[in-house]
Amino acid sequence: MNPRIKVVSTGKYVPEDILTNKDLEQIVETSDEWIQTRTGIIERRIAKTEKNIDLAYKAALDAITKSNYDKEKIDLIVVATMSNDNRNPSIANLVQARLGLNDKQIMAFDINAACTGFVYALEIASNLLVTGKFKTALVIGSEKMSQIIDYTDRNTCILFGDGAGAMIIEGTNEPKNEVYFYSDSKGDTEDILYASRYLKMDGKKVYQFAVQMIPVAINKVLEYAKLEIDDIDGIIFHQANKRIIDHVVKIMKIDIDKVFINIDKYGNTSAASIPIALSEYKDTQKTSKKVLLVGFGGGFTWGSAIIDI
């Protein structure tokens, strides 16, 4: 059974400090021109003093404030992250405390599916709402990638940035609120992308994986929803590389006007990229929209969703 959820609000937070391509030219052997032509990134945000939890909390607060939502209704918090400040407590537990919800019965936990994290988290939360045991979920993607990036490694340091995005969803019985998910993974790719102290990556191989799996993820979720790509109003890709997005748009003959892109401003914020983009996209829309989300990343993991926002 497909879950039925209502998206109540979205929010985002990005740190103030900007690291431009020009700044990176002073740190590693690279150039603004190389970065822009290979990735579409112009600048990214870096949390100099804030921790991952601060980013997650501020994104959650933005979602709550924007919709003037009664936070006391939240009974489930799921955070997608691969850059928690500590192994424990989870960011979700800390967000619960910051929101002053410690005395409430809440299930709060983090998940790690790298850059696919938010799509996985949304699927998990939506299905927990279906049980009826939980009524309102706060789903967050939050990353302080700068604390797992080696700023002497030009293969990775030019790509990533910090930030967080959040979404509040409620369970509902309305058939029109049915949402669709597709998710998949494979685990024999540790030599291509892994993060222990620092994130290491074979960019070319990750690129090949991405352009192969994104069309699969898009087609699968459309098939589950019995929809065509033309039925979708907006497409939010994980913002990893503009060239990856352009490639998929071209081979799938997607209308570029439907594709929301903000990688130029934030770089790849891993699990935060989709909810940040979704929040910015929603803020530009006057009416409800049917959106397709598609994520891919370390693991490898990949997944997609169709929701109304």
Ligand X SMILES: CC(C)(COP(=O)(O)OP(=O)(O)OC[C@H]1O[C@@H](n2cnc3c(N)ncnc32)[C@H](O)[C@@H]1OP(=O)(O)O)[C@@H](O)C(=O)NCCC(=O)NCCS
Q: Which residues are catalytic?
A: 115, 238, 268
38 binds ligand X (CB under 6 A): yes
Considering only 52-60, 97-105, 150-158, 254-262, which stretch makes contact with ligand X by CB under 6 A? 150-158
d(CA 184, CA 300): 9
CB of 184 to ligand X, least distance (A): 15
Query: Which of 81, 96, 136, 268 is in the footprint of ligand X by CB under 6 A?
Result: 268
Q: 214 — phi, psi (to 5°)?
A: -60, -50
SS (H, E, C) 85-151: CCCCCCHHHHHHHHCCCCCCCCEEEEECCHHHHHHHHHHHHHHHHHCCCCCEEEEEEEEEHHHCCCC
Q: Which of 10, 21, 39, 112 binds ligand X (CB under 6 A)?
A: 39
Binding marks (x or -) toward ligand X, 157..196, rule CB under 6 A?
-x--------------------------------------
> Which one of 47, 63, 77, 115 is in contact with ligand X (CB under 6 A)?
115
Q: What are phi and psi of 238, to 5 degrees?
A: -60, 130
Q: How many helices (H) and strands (E) does the chain have?
A: 10, 13
Structural contact between residues 291 and 234, judged by C-beta atoms closer than 8 angstroms: yes
Among 71, 98, 154, 290, binds ligand X (CB under 6 A): 154
Binds ligand X by CB under 6 A, chosen from 14, 113, 122, 240: 240
Buried b vs exposed e over 212-222: b needs ≥16 C-beta within 10 Å? ebbeebbebbb
Return the residue of 15, 40, 163, 297 that touches ligand X, per CB under 6 A: 297
Q: Is the Cβ of residue 76 or residue 240 nearer to ligand X in the bound state?
A: 240
Smallest distance from the beta carbon of 16 to ligand X, in angstroms? 24
Q: CB-wise, 127 or 155, nearer to ligand X? A: 155
290 forms part of the interface with ligand X (CB under 6 A)? no
Select the residue interacting with ligand X from 177, 239, 241, 301 (CB under 6 A).
Answer: 241
Q: Which is nearer to ligand X, 39 or 177 (CB)?
A: 39
What is the distance, to the nearest Å, from the Cα of residue 223 to the centroid of all Cα atoms in its chain? 22
What sections of the chain are H helices per DSSP? 21-25, 32-39, 52-66, 91-98, 117-130, 154-157, 203-225, 242-251, 263-266, 273-283
* 98 near ligand X, judged by CB under 6 A: no
Strands 193-195 and 234-237: unpaired
Cα–Cα distance for residue pair 71/85, rounded to 1 Å = 25
Q: Total binding residues for ligand X by CB under 6 A?
A: 17
Q: Which is nearer to ligand X, 194 or 207 (CB)?
A: 207
Rg (Cα) of the chain, in Å, rounded?
18
- Contact stretch for ligand X (CB under 6 A) within 72-80, 200-208, 225-233, 256-264: 200-208
CA distance 179 to 175: 9
Please identify the residue of the shown chain whose CB is closest to the bound ligand X: 203
CB of residue 97 vs ligand X: minimum separation in angstroms? 30
State the residues that interact with ligand X by CB under 6 A: 30, 34, 38-39, 115, 154-155, 158, 201, 203-204, 206-207, 240-241, 268, 297
